[in-house]
Amino acid sequence: MNTRTLGRDLQVSAVGLGCMGFSHAYGAPTREEDAIQLLRQAFQMGYTFFDTAEVYGTPEDPHANERIVGQALAPYRDKVILATKFGLRFDLESGKVPYPLIPNSRPETIRRAVEGSLKRLGTDHIDLYFQHRMDPAVSPEEVAGVMADLIREGKITHWGISEVDEAYLRRAHAVCPVTAVQNRYSMMARHYEPLFPVLEELGIGLVAFSPMANGFLTGKYGKGTTFDRRYDYRASMPQFTDEAVDQNRALLNLLEEMARQKGATPTQISLAWMLCKKPWIVPIPGTRQLQRMGENAGAADVALSPQEVQALDEALDHMELSPVFGGTPCQKK
């Protein structure tokens, strides 16, 4: 797979692998030995960018994902980029699914978090350390100051912010340069596009999570699809209802038609659309199927012209799409 550069110098595979689903939110957790094998196969396939977080786990093993990712990629540590995140915990006592989010980016919390992540990942440094959500109780300058210290100490080499807005990003970047933002972005969730000129101005990359609208844009989920309400967040996502399938038929048809023209799949078109839009966008679709990993990686080879990308944008501008899951709101501590 070809590579892209986030920020000034962080080189990653053009498509990364979101690892959350092995442990959290997309059904019962994958058996550890199976997850490890799949992660190693992803590396052999050309993936060099792997994204996890300290909170991706289970109630029984809250940090499982980092541990599994670290173990799987230990043989290739000097050849991969590991991204993980701090500053968030789940309210497991709420009884709600998806779990409510509680941000905490106090300096002492970050210090504990980075040491835990380094240990679980089995590494002496984190390549890209994301603040998982903005914390209204802690200024961006204070968070960025801690990041600058961690870089000087060699515990991290780059940092970023997830689900960030322009004002917070500018303030943080002025203290310690930000390498990437990790924001939700897909054909069904384009609300961060106004931030693109700011990213271009500051030389910051976009790591696009949920690039296929939680899998809806694969076209594999039709009417009558059900999900396990205990383990799978998709059970409560609005784009997977029978009504939404009808509402989004024009979008699915658009993807299928472009896929036929390009000798690709709808999944690959939905990823190529953003890859061909900006050279600093890196999607991180998640999957637990080897075939899907190969399909996602193949999107990096699908060429869409600027005119084709613009035509897709214009079509999307005039479509009446269903609501789409936009993430769980953060709660007060």
Question: Which residues are identified as catalytic?
Answer: 56
Tokens of 87: 């500053």
CA dihedral 174, 15, 215, 18 (to 10 degrees): -70
Q: Print burial letters for 30-64: b (CB count within 10 Å at least 16), e (below 16).
A: bebeebbebbbebbebbbbbbbbbbbbbeeeebbb
Tally of helices (H runs) and strands (E runs) in the chain: 11, 12
Residue bearing tokens 């540590």 = 77
Identify each DSSP E strand in the chain by its residue range: 3-6, 10-13, 17-18, 49-51, 81-86, 88-90, 101-103, 128-131, 159-162, 180-184, 205-209, 281-283
The count of residues in the chain is 333
What's the one-letter identity of residue 101?
Answer: L
Cis peptide bond prior to 62, omega within 30° of 0: no
Residues 6+ away with beta carbon under 8 Å from 328: 98, 99, 100, 101
Say how far apart CA 320 and CA 323 lie, in whole Å.
10
